[in-house]
Amino acid sequence: MKKGSHHTSETRAKMRSSRLGRRHTPETRAKIGAAHRGKVVSAETRAKMGVASRGRSHTPEAREKIRAANLGKALSAEHRAKISAANLGRKLTPETCARISAAHLGYTHTSETRAKMRSSHLGKKLSPETRAKIGAAHRGKVVSAETRAKLRVATHAAGPAHWNWRGGDRDYGTGFTKDLKRIVRWLYDNRCFICGEKPDGKETAVHHIDYDKKNNTIDNLVPLCNSHHSQTNTRRDYWQWFFKNRQRSRSLLWEWVA
């Protein structure tokens, strides 16, 4: 076939029907894969492939095969960066959003997946623009009675009923008084020990560095804003190390100034 010439639609239909149901051997698939590896597809070819695939949907069997083939496969950092760049600024149509929502309806993440998602977002702060977008997306949305009940339990649950309960002691002892907490806040000018910010119109929470609620000595207590106080409920070994090192640095600084 001459370069630049194209098969007629009838010829293409015949070729397609002759290949229908045929399966390549693993060796043939490996050869095809090796032949295409590293090959860069032109923008024009990608556009043609996109047009040809538009509106086509995989059968449940094909989707299951694709899912099984990709299960456990880890994408390289370069591959993830390419996907991120390709999707940057892309907006899904309402129909696509509805399909994704329907596909995930009733789906629940495993405890391992939830832990990974939580750790990946830990300490990450959303920009004002992102918060505004999330607020706008949820504005006017009606939460079901069942969801409200779940939120109420998750928000107000304490002790063994809370999702992050670790079997600790809830008794702070008689020494953890309002006067003691007032002194701790005064020592740090009511500023969060981590970020140094003052809560607007609120008092900082007083945190036990070693997580022993009965150890109410001054050097075991630091004030924290609500955001950072909630973060200290996880990775306790790290936070103990962090607070002790910062306190040590603070003591050395005061000794140097004195």
What is the predicted pLDDT for the residue at 169?
63
**pLDDT value for 183:** 94
Distance CA 110, CA 116 (A): 10
C-alpha span between 247 and 253 (Å, rounded): 10
Nearest to 247 by CA among 210, 202, 204: 210
The CA distances from residue 34 to 23, 38, 72, in Å, are: 18, 9, 22
Entry pTM:
0.40
Q: What is the DSSP secondary-structure string of 41-70?
A: PPHHHHHHHHHHHTT----HHHHHHHHHHH
Q: What is the DSSP string of 192-224?
A: -TTT-PPPTTSPPEEEETTS-TT---GGGEEEE
Sequence-ordered list of residues with C-beta below 8 angstroms from that of 32, at least 6 positions apart, any chain = 24
**Tens digit of pLDDT per residue, the chain (258 long)?**
566 677 888 888 888 888 887 888 889 888 888 888 888 888 888 888 888 888 788 888 888 888 888 888 888 888 888 888 888 888 888 888 888 888 888 888 888 888 888 888 877 788 888 888 888 888 888 888 888 887 777 666 666 666 666 666 667 777 889 999 999 999 999 999 998 888 888 899 999 999 888 889 999 999 999 889 988 888 889 999 999 888 887 776 665 654
